[in-house]
Amino acid sequence: MNGDWLLRGRDGRLTVYLPSDDAVLCRAELAPGGPWEAPRRVGGDQRLRPGPAIGQGADGYAHLVAWRPTAQGESGLVHSTHFRPRLAPLDWSPVGHPDKKGDRTGTPAVAVDAQGRAHVFVRNQGGGVSLLAQKEKGGWDPWRDLGGADVRGELAAVTGESGRVELYAAVPGGILHWRQEESGKPPVRAEDADAPARPDTLRALATSAGHTTLFFTDERGELCAWRPGGEPVPLIAAAGPGPVSAVRCDIEGHDCTVLAQRSASGRTAFAAYPTEQEPAGAWWTESGPHLPSDAEVALALDEHDGVVAAILAPSTGTLLLTRRKDEPGLALQAWREV
């Protein structure tokens, strides 16, 4: 999944979204902190292409977007909304193609603004980025070309604390950035970064009222943090090859950012540091069992705003979960299979 696939619903229950062959599956807690239901298929029997995306609004609703086959050598995007963890998600609804027709052009990304409008971003055939935005009272605006060129890998979409949507994309030698200047308006190109980001390592997080922070791995293998308006800052050597998962939480009265990444050793690595204070430094601590190479890690907050981590290994179907212990620091409970 492109985006956070471990989410807390508006009723406090956690949900995980799992890609599976030609579908997306979801599982939810039967009660906050309780047992989990069996996997359910999202959106009916529609067959999907690999690489779905997900975004969540302040209302707790999850928006899922995926490619589906439409004809020989052609695909189109579909959208579903999941209102509550125990409810069934809506059926997949076709939303078109950034170039009107053709095959998959790239993995989509989704962010949801303060009014609950989903914004779907995807690379187009020209190598730039196109946008499809929901209307507040239903339906979608026309596809819009946002520009850019030679975009590589997965896009990173995020909603700031202001409720406005931002987008980051990797290009050779740099990172492109789009930002909504006004609610309801399309994002526009803003400040870019001259930073050699590895494709498919971008992850963005709202970190203050005025900023979002982009985490990415550079060509030297350093995990870096960048907030538009400043320069990218090396934070720590990346634990592994993929993107990090990131969440903000309170640790002993301090606003902290917690990072998690599958490490090169095959375990899960965690780090934490005071939010937006990268010079304070961060250190990895590994946890849990050794995992297959396709394993992914996700972070979220539970009904008590405590950190929850999940590991998904698609090749084995394994889903593991841990929570922060009720004690100082970032100590975690024993991992358990869900």
Q: Helix, strand, coil proportions of the chain in percent (round to 5)?
A: 0, 50, 50
Confidence of residue 79 (pLDDT cuts 50, 70, 90): very high
Class of domain 6-337 as given by CATH:
mainly beta
Note the pLDDT of residue 318.
86
Which pair of tokens denotes residue 43? 């959106």
Contacts of 291 (CB under 8 A, 6+ apart): 262, 266, 267, 268, 311, 313
Domain boundaries along the sequence of the chain:
6-337
Contact 97, 106 (CB under 8 A): no
Residue 297 pLDDT more than 90? yes
Give the chain's mean pLDDT. Answer: 95
Confidence of residue 196 (pLDDT cuts 50, 70, 90): very high
Residue 30 pLDDT more than 80? yes
Contacts of 45 (CB under 8 A, 6+ apart): none
Could you tell me the end-to-end alpha-carbon distance of the chain, in angstroms, rounded to an integer?
Answer: 19
Confidence of residue 130 (pLDDT cuts 50, 70, 90): very high
d(CA 111, CA 158): 5
Contact 106, 120 (CB under 8 A): no
Residue 242 pLDDT more than 80? yes
Note the pLDDT of residue 328.
79
Residue 316 pLDDT more than 90? no
Output the CA torsion sign for 159, 129, 19, 25.
positive
Confidence of residue 33 (pLDDT cuts 50, 70, 90): confident
Which pair of tokens denotes residue 79? 């959208």
Contact 158, 165 (CB under 8 A): yes
Over residues 112-125, the pLDDT tens digits come to 999 999 999 999 99
Q: Which residues sit opposite 179 in a β-bridge?
A: 166, 188
What does the pLDDT average to over 84-108?
A: 96
Count of all residues that appear for the chain in the document: 338
| CA angle, 204 then 208 then 214, to 5° | 20
Contact 55, 62 (CB under 8 A): yes
d(CA 145, CA 130): 4
Sequence letter at residue 301: L
Contacts of 87 (CB under 8 A, 6+ apart): none
* 64 three-class SS: strand
Residue 200 pLDDT more than 90? yes
Contact 2, 53 (CB under 8 A): yes
What does the pLDDT average to over 77-88?
A: 94
Confidence of residue 331 (pLDDT cuts 50, 70, 90): confident
Residue 329 pLDDT more than 80? no
Note the pLDDT of residue 226.
98
What does the pLDDT average to over 56-76?
A: 96
One-character DSSP codes across 293-317: TT-EEEEEE-TTS-EEEEEEETTTT
pLDDT > 90 in the chain, percent = 86
d(CA 280, CA 258): 14
Confidence of residue 326 (pLDDT cuts 50, 70, 90): confident
Alpha helices in the chain (DSSP H): none
d(CA 278, CA 223): 11
Confidence of residue 197 (pLDDT cuts 50, 70, 90): very high
Note the pLDDT of residue 294.
87
Contacts of 136 (CB under 8 A, 6+ apart): 115, 116, 117, 184
Note the pLDDT of residue 267.
93
Residue 71 pLDDT more than 90? yes
pTM: 0.96
Note the pLDDT of residue 104.
97
Residue 254 pLDDT more than 90? yes
What does the pLDDT average to over 56-63?
A: 96
33: closest CA among 4, 56, 13, 11?
Answer: 13
